[in-house]
């Protein structure tokens, strides 16, 4: 998932650029509604920023980046790494950081699109309202402009508002030079209410994510006594052996609740199993003693998802079997079995090494 931040940033930038270019193209006469501009550059960014602040302290559900990663356009391997992030406790911090990166990239895309339109087009900023007058709108615009009072050219005025008001049934507004002056106000609004707060939030989220990473590293590097308690076996000699084949008949325990394709793959690699038992935490342990008695001369092979970390339920089940066997961690897609990653293989070897007479089974060649 190392490429994910760059891809999200690039995608957010392109989306912001396209939206702004489309929005600021205006009507046939190049007129852009100033009120819509405030909605795009001020009110929507501020609402998103407030939600980001609340998400720091409240469980508001999925953020922007987490919703994007659920779209089935990303490599499946990325989504498979999410459970591991959940276990280490850094998933929330990671996606919070990605959400800020995505929001800032959207803002940068909007800013670049804004400059492109100003350079290649003659934009006239107008506003229309049935119930509002220029004197009603002025206090809001002045309030929003308080952060840049030092920039006098970007301050709104009653005269500018009156000259910018447009009526659909009236004469076309011909104050072209005056109408173009609103670009300074729009630029200051973008910088103040979108890019600046999002930049600060991005820095904050990066610090939070880094601190969570440091905390996880400290947890995963405990003292010797804690390592034994947590089954963190530091010595290579305690790792379970790796075997590449099954001699004789075997029983396949489908702990992964795998579909027909992985089962067929296992049958091609090691021969057809004598019996397939589908067992998972949600289905219960079943009568393990009867299963062992019935197939006492067979080897027990437990099929697991390589990318999912070993859980306590699996340990309880294997100990309840009271027999020796092999754990088969597989990494598969819809129609392809991938080579197991070294990180996952090491985790399963450490797990199997804490059990009596259990090895890790790996096909001789994956594909």
For the segment 58-62, the average pLDDT, to the nearest whole number, is 64
CA 223/CA 228 separation, integer angstroms: 9
pLDDT at 227 over 60: no
DSSP one-letter code for 326: E
Quick one: which of 111, 122, 116 has its CA closest to 31?
122
Confidence of residue 232 (pLDDT cuts 50, 70, 90): very low
Residue 12 banded pLDDT, cuts 50, 70, 90: very high
> With pLDDT > 90 as the criterion, what percentage of the chain qualifies?
30
> Mean pLDDT highest for which of 62-76, 91-105, 131-145, 272-286?
131-145
Range 196-205 average pLDDT: 94
Poorest-pLDDT segment among 156-160, 214-218, 304-308, 342-346: 214-218
Q: What average pLDDT does this structure show over 70-74?
A: 67
Stretch 315-339: mean pLDDT: 85
What pLDDT score was predicted for residue 60?
A: 61
3-state secondary structure of 307: coil
Residue from 147, 136, 229, 134 nearest 187 by CA? 147
pLDDT of residue 174: 52
Question: Considering the chain, what percentage of its residues have pLDDT values greater than 70?
Answer: 78
Rounded to 10 deg, the angle between the 91-120 and 182-190 helix axes is 170
Q: Of all helices (H) and strands (E), which one includes residue 275?
A: strand 275-277
**Mean pLDDT across 41-60:** 85
Whether pLDDT at 178 is above 70: no
Q: How confident is the model at residue 257 (pLDDT cuts 50, 70, 90)?
A: confident
Residue 53 has pLDDT above 50, yes or no: yes
Which sequence spans correspond to the domains of the chain? 4-218, 236-361
pLDDT score at 190? 95
Residue 49, SS3 per DSSP: helix
Lowest mean pLDDT of 77-86, 113-122, 337-346, name the range.
Answer: 77-86
If one compares 34 and 220, the residue with the highest pLDDT of the two is 34
pTM: 0.59
If you count them, how many residues does the chain have? 367
Q: Quick check: 334 pLDDT over 80?
A: no
Residue 305 has pLDDT above 80, yes or no: yes
| Per-residue model confidence as pLDDT tens digits over 132-175 | 889 999 999 999 999 999 999 999 999 889 888 876 545 555 55
304 touches 256 (CB < 8 A): yes
Average pLDDT over residues 308-312: 82
Confidence band of 229 (pLDDT split at 50, 70, 90)? very low
Q: Mean of the per-residue pLDDT values for the chain?
A: 81
Q: Averaged over 5-33, what is the pLDDT?
A: 86
Q: What is the pLDDT of residue 236?
A: 46
pLDDT for 173 equals: 53
Q: Which residue has the higher pLDDT, 110 or 60?
A: 110
The confidence score (pLDDT) of residue 280 equals 59
Instruction: Identify the pLDDT of residue 47.
Output: 93
Q: How far apart are CA 16 and CA 29, in angstroms?
A: 23
- 320 neighbors 359 (Cβ within 8 angstroms): no
């Amino acid at each position: 998932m190392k490429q994910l931040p760059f891809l999200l940033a690039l995608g957010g930038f392109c989306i912001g650029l396209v939206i702004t270019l489309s929005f600021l193209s205006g009507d046939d006469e190049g007129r852009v509604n100033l009120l819509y501009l405030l909605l795009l550059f001020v009110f929507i960014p501020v609402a998103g920023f407030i939600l980001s602040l609340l998400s720091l302290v409240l469980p508001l559900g999925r953020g922007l980046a987490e919703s994007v990663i659920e779209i089935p356009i990303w490599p499946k391997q990325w989504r498979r790494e999410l459970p591991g992030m959940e276990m280490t406790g850094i998933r929330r911090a990671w996606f919070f950081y990605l959400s800020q990166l995505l929001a800032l990239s959207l803002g940068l895309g909007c800013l670049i699109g804004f400059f492109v339109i100003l350079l290649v087009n003659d934009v006239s900023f107008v506003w229309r309202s049935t119930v509002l007058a220029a004197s009603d709108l002025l206090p809001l615009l002045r309030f929003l402009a308080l952060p840049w009072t030092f920039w006098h050219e970007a301050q709104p005025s009653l005269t500018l508002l009156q000259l910018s008001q447009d009526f659909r049934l009236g004469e076309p507004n011909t104050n072209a030079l005056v109408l173009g002056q609103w670009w300074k106000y729009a630029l200051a609004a973008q910088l103040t209410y979108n890019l600046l707060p999002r930049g600060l939030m991005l820095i904050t989220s990066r610090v939070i994510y880094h601190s969570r990473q440091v905390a996880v590293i400290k947890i995963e590097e405990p003292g010797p006594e804690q390592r034994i308690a947590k089954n963190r076996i530091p010595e290579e000699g305690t790792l379970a052996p790796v075997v590449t084949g099954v001699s004789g008949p075997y029983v396949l325990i489908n702990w992964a609740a795998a579909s027909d394709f992985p089962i067929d793959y296992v049958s091609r690699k090691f021969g057809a199993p004598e019996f397939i038992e589908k067992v998972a935490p949600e289905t219960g342990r079943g009568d393990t003693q009867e299963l062992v008695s019935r197939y006492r001369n067979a080897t027990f092979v437990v099929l697991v998802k390589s990318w999912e970390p070993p859980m306590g339920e699996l340990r309880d089940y294997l100990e309840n079997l009271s027999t020796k066997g092999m754990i088969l961690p597989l990494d598969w897609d819809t129609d392809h079995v991938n080579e197991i990653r070294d990180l996952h293989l090491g985790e399963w070897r450490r797990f199997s090494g804490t059990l009596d007479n259990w090895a890790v089974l790996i096909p001789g060649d994956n594909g």
